[in-house]
Structures are given as structure tokens and as C-alpha cells.
Amino acid sequence: MGITRRADYLPFSPIRPPRPYFGLTGAKLNAWVTVACTTAMMLFGYDQGVFGGIIVTPDFLKTMGDPDPTFQGTIVSLYDIGCFFGAVSTFVFGEWLGRKKCLMIGVTIMSIGAILQMSSFSAGQMIFGRLITGEAFKINTATAPVWQSETSKPAWRGRLVILGMIMNAAGFSLSNWMTYGLSFATGSISWRFPIAFQLGFSIVLFFTVPWLPESPRWLLAHGYYEEGVSVLIALEGAHASIKDEIIINERAKILEAVRIERETSPRWRDVLKGSTGDTGMVQRLVLGAGTQWMQQLSGINVTSYYLPLILQDSVGHSNSLSRLLAACNSLFYLLFSFVGLLLIEKAGRRKLMMWGAAGQCMCYILISGLLSQSDSSNPATRARFGAAARRFSFFTMCSLGFVGREYHGYILRRLIVCPCGQKERL
């Protein structure tokens, strides 16, 4: 299906100069888009880690009616059920709504979820808040990297998307240190404030996203030619104009890419049946989606959510020490993300991912062996501290080498990449 809207547009027709966004253009405008996108990713990382510290807070457990471990797991895991529905809704409606609308919808839903959680006095309200918060976060994290890549220059796209992943780790670390610091407070502030702190990220997004440019690729793909070219000019800089060769070429590249995708993109039914004529497409689809599934099955999310609880109940450390170790672990996770950023271009995606997966596997073997040799009556045994140390190694190897979340983007065509990315939560 070709592009039919505004077919009478002429590439050199007069266009009014684009209205400056925040009065800025070029690199400074790109910086504001980066602020919005990295804030969304940092918020996601923050929410991934915040409940790990809350679930071991005595006042929280008392307020929720002292739930048993099974019910505690239900409260925590329903967040991921929400993420699943968020992925499905983005897959269905994301391209129709556009990048900015998706982000604003996600931030609005997330804010409602955060308010419900911070004001909760019952397990039912907390569960509902967790559910809709998960849905909102998956909408945001499925949209922000795409918006970032489509509004940045080619030379910076890879680094800016990876910066978003690093900010995700930074948010995770921030939540761990915040819950540790507030563990010394008394009353409900020890768990209500960390949840309420999410609204600070929402405020940043509410005050930036509406006034930033929509993706020029999305605008051109949906027939908004004048608006799309205006955004390209604004992103290029104040010196750019409609007659600049770089603007003309960029517009032509985007429209050509859209045309090829629409004319040659296979149906999902044909892809799964292997009747597309491309024998390697199913293999690439399995590799792209499979690496994301395996990333989740590696236990990184489970360990993130429950690390303080694991260190307290399974390893035998005190509540305070468990929180401190979890916070220090999150700092290792963040720092080694930068090491992975330096190695990824030299070692390559596949090798780095294989090294990371092998390292995580070895950590699990050592953790199991050390705990089996520990003395359950003596929490201070060396084996238990060794098991805790191996938890640090696990997060280090994950941040250093497991690039499953980005791997599908390198081996799949664009119209397969986005749906494949949504399957991460399945």
C-alpha cells in the first residue's frame, strides 16, 4: 500500500519556518528529546527496583495485612502482567497513535498507578496500582527508544539508545539506595515516599514531551509531509532550510524506506509458515525474539525484584545488611553497563552476549554450591557471604554482556523488529 495522503506536495514548495521548540534547534533540541527519552527509561529502571526494597519493609507488610509469601509474589508479579498488556496495546495501537501520544498516554496511566500505590491501605488497591503501572511502563519503554532513534542523527543513534539503557540501570540503582536510606525511617513514609518519587519523573515528561517534535519518520510515513520536513529542518539546526540538500536527501530516504517496507513487508502468517521466500526470516525471528525471552528467563528481573528478600531469607543476612548489599549490587550493575558500552563495538554483539550468558550460568552454579555447603544456623558462614558475592557477579555479567534486548534490531527488518520487541514480556 503506497502513500496517498498529500500527494500534491512539492519538495520545494514554500514552508513557513518551523516554530522553535523551547526556542531551540539542532543539537540543543536533540538534547531535550534525549532528556525526555532517558527520563522515561530511568523511570522504568526505578520502578523495577523500588519494590524489592519495599517488600521487606515491616510497615508495608502490616498495611497489606501481613500477606504470606505466595500473596507477596502475586502483588509483585502482577506488575509484569501489566507489562504484557502494555506490550500488546503498543503493538496494536502504537503506530497509529504516534510516538508522543503513546508516551503521554503511558505517563498519564503511570501517574494514576503511582498515586493508587502510594495511597494504598489494602492489598487490592496495591495490586490494581501495580497492574496499571506495569502496563504504562511497557508503553513508555517500547516507545521512547524508537522516538529517540527517529529524531537523532545517524552517527548518534546507537549511542543515544544505549544511553537510555544506562539510564535504566541508573534508575534501578537510585531506587535501591532510596529504599535503603528510608529503611531507617519509621512509619509508612519508608515505603510510600519511594513510590511517590516516581511522580517526579512524570512531571519532567509532562513538561517536555508535549512541546518536543514528533518523529519525522512517523509524520512522513503517515502523510504529514510539511510537518515532517519542518521537524527535519528544526532537528538539523537554525541554519537549515527547505532547499538544503541534506533535508531533501533525508526526506527522500525516509519516504523510500517507508515505500519499500509497505510493498515488501510480509504478513505474520506467511512469516510463521515460512512461505515468504526468505528461508532465513523465521530463523532470524526466533533468534530475535528468543534472545529476549532468554534474557527474562535468565532470572535478572526476578533477582532484581527479590534480591533483598533473597539475601534476608535464603542467605541469612539481616534486613539492613540485605538492603545495603542490594543497593551496592545495583551500583555494580550501573558501573559495568559503561564497560559493556566500551566493549560492544570491539567484541561484537554475539560474542559479548555469549560471554555474559556463560558468566551468569557459572554464577548460578556457584551460588547453589555455596548455599548447599552453608550452615543454616550460622548466618555468618563464609559460604553465605560467598553466595552473596556471586549475586554481585551475576548482575555484573548481565550488565556487561547480555545484549538480548537490542540484538533483534540488528538481524530483523524494521516491520518485524517492533513486534518482536513487544514479545519480550510474553
pLDDT value, residue 3: 41
Residue 110 shares a structural domain with residue 208? yes
pLDDT value, residue 23: 77
- Structural domain contains residue 284: yes
Residue 167 shares a structural domain with residue 27? yes
Residue 85 shares a structural domain with residue 203? yes
Query: 117-136 pLDDT, tens per residue?
Result: 999 999 999 999 999 999 99
Measure the N-to-C terminal CA separation of the chain; round to a whole number of Å: 30
- pLDDT band at 56; cut points 50, 70, 90: confident
- Structural domain contains residue 5: no
Residue 153 shares a structural domain with residue 300? no
Q: What is the mean pLDDT of residues 273-296?
A: 71
Residue 288 shares a structural domain with residue 346? yes
Q: Which has the higher per-residue pLDDT, 334 or 200? A: 200
CA 23 to chain CA centroid, nearest Å? 29
CB-count burial class (<10 Å; 0-12, 13-18, 19+) for 117: buried
Query: 137-186 pLDDT, tens per residue?
Result: 889 988 998 898 889 887 787 678 778 888 988 998 899 899 989 988 88
Residue 199 shares a structural domain with residue 309? no
pLDDT value, residue 332: 78
How far apart CA 44 and CA 169 sit, in angstroms, is 9
Residue whose C-alpha is closest to residue 399's, from 306, 326, 300, 319: 300
- Structural domain contains residue 405: yes
Residue 386 has pLDDT above 60, yes or no: no
Residue whose C-alpha cell reads 510480509 in the numeric block = 266
Cell digits for 49? 527496583
Choose one of 264, 298, 327: the last residue of a domain: 264
Q: Rounded to 5 degrees, what angle do the CA atoms 338, 344, 348 make?
A: 165
CB 225 within 8 A of CB 255: no
Choose one of 201, 231, 264: the last residue of a domain: 264
DSSP codes of every residue in 281-317:
HHHHHHHHHHHHHHHHHTTHHHHHHHHHHIIIIIS--
Q: Please name every residue paired with 24 in a beta bridge, in sequence order, or none if there are none.
A: 21
Please give the share of the chain, as a percent, with pLDDT higher than 90: 23
Residue 254 shares a structural domain with residue 280? no
Residue 251 shares a structural domain with residue 289? no
Residue 369 has pLDDT above 80, yes or no: no
Choose one of 213, 230, 250: the last residue of a domain: 213
Tally of structural domains, the chain: 3
How far apart CA 32 and CA 40 sit, in angstroms, is 13
Residue 2 has pLDDT above 50, yes or no: no
CATH code at 324? 1.20.1250.20
Domain ranges, residue 161: 17-213
214: amino acid identity, one letter: E
Query: 196-219 pLDDT, tens per residue?
Result: 999 999 999 999 999 999 999 999
Report the predicted TM-score, pTM, of the whole model to 2 decimal places.
Answer: 0.79
Q: What is the mean pLDDT of the chain?
A: 78
Residue 165 shares a structural domain with residue 223? no
CB 55 within 8 A of CB 112: no
Residue 228 shares a structural domain with residue 330? no
Q: What is the mean pLDDT of residues 313-342?
A: 77
Residue 321 has pLDDT above 60, yes or no: yes
185: left (phi over 0), alpha (psi -120 to 50) or beta: beta
Residue 206 shares a structural domain with residue 251? no
